[in-house]
Structure 1
């Protein structure tokens, strides 16, 4: 008699109750997924967003050519500066790391500074060079952000780098 009472008191869910619980959990998961779909990250987690673009700041150093390739491999390009605000943002951020490559060089023709997208360095951006730069000392053909402004250094030097790509639009 005692054994019968123990069996009838135990709370073992029926398969129908188990199926109902699974269905309730799946419903909750679907609701959470729907909410997550409405969140928008215009840039990947390891990229920084600024004025419609995503920026990747490397954590190790490479030569200029390898930095160009690293950015291309990430679907981006070595940074091309398009505005004074962007320059200020990059200069502030790169100052923490010391020399950091940008996508500017005069490798094709000495003194003819071009961005990696083929566009020329705008005249009003020339004031970002540090005092006495660019000076082409020791055949310096690639540009970096340095402590006080831009500097030309040899492209075979190893430095950090910054990649840039357009931010992803958030669909609604």
Structure 2
């Protein structure tokens, strides 16, 4: 029995050592995997730093270019504000919503301008063409003070009458203000709402 037990103990001891070897092997594999994972993380982190720095440098470069562009635009000659149109030395603002005639007069004054006063045939052609694309539009002409005496908002009298549409002005229903219609000028009630055009002199460009 002792001989048998001794052999059994040797056998068990042999099996235990084999288990230890398997355990050690597993630990080595786990350690290797963890080491590889750690090295990979370090490499990825290391590669992200230059990318982050490169991104910051790129952003800084873009901001510098934008600042340079803005400085260049500031030095450009701008005779009219951005949302105004230049024509023959004057700036014109074409509204995007509608007001009554008096409200339009006030709106232009608030912008340092006046409801448009037409001074030339070329200006009339330009405004008539542009207004036709937008819709009916107020001009700064009225006979509200005295019927039939057409005055511009700057106090000057109307000096030509060949831009009226056919059968206009007709003063139907007490029409004292003037709009650009499709084919010429039309007198209409001042209380109606139209688009409007403001006009002011262009700013001279400094040398």
Question: Which residue is equivalent to 2:198?
Answer: 163
- Tell me which of 156, 159, 162 is aligned to 1:127: 162
Q: Secondary structure at the match of 1:112?
A: coil
Deviation for aligned residue 1:70: 0.2
Shift of 1:99: 1.2
TM-score scaled by length of structure 2:
0.67
Query: Hey, what does 1:86 align to over in structure 2?
Result: 123
Q: Helix, strand or coil for the counterpart of 2:92?
A: strand
Q: Secondary structure at the match of 1:126?
A: coil
Given candidates 71, 82, 102, the residue that maps to 2:139 is 102
> Counterpart of 2:205 in 1: which secondary structure?
coil
Counterpart Cα distance in 1 of 2:200 and 2:85: 11
Matched residues in 2 for 1:155 and 1:28: separation?
50
Q: Deviations over 1:91-130 (max 9, x none)?
A: 00000122100000000000000000000000xx300000
Give TM-score scaled by structure 1 length.
Answer: 0.80
Any stretches of 5+ residues in structure 2 without a counterpart?
Answer: 1-59
Q: Say if 1:100 and 1:34 are closer, same or farther in 2 by CA, change over 3 A.
A: closer
Write the deviation string for residues 128-172 of structure 1: whole angstroms up to 9, x where unpaired.
000100000000000000000000000001000000000111101
1:9: which partner in 2?
none
The Cα offsets for residues 26-56 of structure 1, whole Å up to 9 and x where unpaired, read as x989976764443111111110000000000
Match of 2:94 in 1: 57
Q: Please name the residue that 1:137 is paired with.
A: 172
Count of aligned residue pairs for this structure pair:
153
Asked whether 1:147 is paired with 2:172, we answer no
Cα-to-partner distance string for 1:57-109 (whole Å, 9 max, x where unaligned): 00001000000000000000000000000000000000012210000000000
Larger-gyration structure (1/2): 2
Alignment CA distance shift 1:126-1:31 (3 Å): same
